[in-house]
Amino acid sequence: MSESPRSSWPLYEVFVRGKRGLNHVHVGSLHAPDDEMALRNARDLYTRRNEGVSIWVVPAAAITASSPDEKDPFFAPAADKVYRHPTFYSIPEDVPHL
């Protein structure tokens, strides 16, 4: 055999929304020859074919990740800039979902 079968079976990342879940959550990855088979494999591997779930598969190569090296400059703008957060007024009691 000239090439390993895995080389023609690229990696896919799998996102699943549970029956009553609100959003898709990353649950893992798998190998598949194409998108259609990735979807079917994801159903077998990650949902046990439970009805009412939604699956997204994405080729791992299509995902751009933030770099751990840039963590500090990338995520710093939040915590230490207290003036960015609306914390200087009290919430009225009759506004329940704020």
How many CA atoms within 13 Å lie on the side-chain side of 88?
4
Q: Which of these segments, 13-21, 62-70, 74-82, 87-95, binds another protein (CB under 8 A)?
A: 13-21
In angstroms, the CA 50 to CA 46 distance is: 10
Least distance (Å) between residue 73 CB and another protein: 24
Contacts of residue 23, defined as CB under 8 A and 6 or more positions apart, other chains included, come to: 17
Q: How far is the CB of 83 from another protein (least distance, A)?
A: 25
Query: Which position among 10, 18, 58, 59 is part of the footprint of another protein (CB under 8 A)?
Result: 18
Q: Name which of residues 50 to 69 contact another protein (CB under 8 A).
A: 50, 53
How far apart are CB 88 and another protein at their closest, in Å?
Answer: 25
Residue selected from 2, 3, 20, 86 as contacting another protein according to rule CB under 8 A:
20
Q: Rounded to the nearest whole angstrom, what is the least distance from the CB of residue 31 to another protein in the complex?
A: 6
Q: What is the 3-state secondary structure (H, E, C) of 31-98?
A: ECCCHHHHHHHHHHHHHCCCCCCEEEEEEHHHCCCCCHHHHHHHHCCCCCCHHHCCCCCCCCCCCCCC
Asked if residue 17 binds another protein (CB under 8 A), the reply is yes
